[in-house]
Amino acid sequence: KWIGTFHPATLLERGGVTSKGYFQEDEGFQKEPGLRTYVVAMVDSKSQVVWHIDYVDHVSEGDLYKSFEDFAEKISFKVRGVVKDKWQASTNALKNLFDNLWIGYCHRHCLEKLKKALKEYRKEAKISGKKSKELFEMFSSVLSESTHRANMEVKIEMLLKKENAFNHPLLKCRLDELKTNAEKYTANKQRSGITKTTSIVDNFLKIAKRKLRQAMSFRDPKWADIMFKAMSNVRNFMPFMTGAKNAHKSPFMLAGGRDFGLNWMQVINVHNGFLFESA
């Protein structure tokens, strides 16, 4: 219980951590006995610090707004941008809560949907694996190389003229979706803090979901809250292992937190992370 007392943002603010206000956000779902639950997380795009985590039964706009609002009340900086998937409820909640927020859509999620469409198209059109790969690379180039909405729209039109396969309904719908959300898919070219994918938060959620599967019927709201706060705080303060890109440094250290050269658990203790009541 001691390490899950505080919301991660509370400890991070207390430890002098700074953020430029750019995050990756996602909701990881998990099936539990008789229901479906979600872990909501927001991770700093640069330092990999977990700033917010929540455990909810629903991911409606109202539920997510309440979750994000709880996070907003604990920070002293402005949230400037968020990279996420296309879940409209979370997009609306974030836009309504944070003024002038930049929203970027994850490229990986977009390409995963294209792969599924290409798989169906390959069966129907009887094309080779080589041709399927070529189509994937054409689409991927438009996605990664476009610099803004107008530029993406031009590239899409050129692709439609160059390759007739993209006029097929299975692939055309993917290009239509790309065109509709061109502004969000090119946000990473407009703001340096916006990343192309949600890979950091996705990797963290894999760990969180694995822990939830181990708990299975872990349904008590109080203890669920404690477990996920504890998981986030350990992730933030524990250094990466030997062989990692940032070996022997923790996300807390990468974000500029004050560690005083101490062991990670001592660092939490210095910042009163073991107290049961807020100081």
Tell me the domain boundaries of the chain: 2-105+197-270, 107-190
Q: Which residues have C-beta within 8 Å of that of residue 16, sequence separation ≥ 6?
A: 256, 257, 258
| Mean pLDDT on 214-238 | 80
Query: pLDDT tens-digit profile of 245-268?
Result: 999 999 999 999 888 888 888 888
Residues 143/108, Cβ–Cβ less than 8 Å: no
Q: For residue 136, which of 174, 177, 105 has the smallest C-alpha distance? A: 174
% of the chain exceeding 90 in pLDDT: 72
The predicted pLDDT at position 35 comes to 66
The predicted pLDDT at position 271 comes to 76
pLDDT for residue 43 is more than 80: yes
Kindly report which listed range (6-15, 25-34, 161-170) carries the lowest average pLDDT score. Answer: 25-34
Decide which of 22 and 219 is more confident: 22
CATH 3.30.420.10, domain 2-105+197-270, yes or no: yes
pLDDT for residue 74 is more than 90: yes
The predicted pLDDT at position 93 comes to 97
How far, CA to CA in Å, does 167 sit from each of 121, 158, 159, 176? 11, 12, 10, 10
269: pLDDT confidence band, cut at 50, 70 and 90? confident
pLDDT for residue 216 is more than 70: no
Q: What is the 8-class DSSP label of residue 247?
A: B
How far, CA to CA in Å, does 265 sit from each of 33, 52, 212, 220, 262? 35, 20, 24, 27, 8
208: pLDDT confidence band, cut at 50, 70 and 90? confident
273: pLDDT confidence band, cut at 50, 70 and 90? low
Decide which of 1 and 261 is more confident: 261
CA distance 45 to 22: 6
219: pLDDT confidence band, cut at 50, 70 and 90? low
pTM for the full model? 0.90
| Mean pLDDT on 263-277 | 73
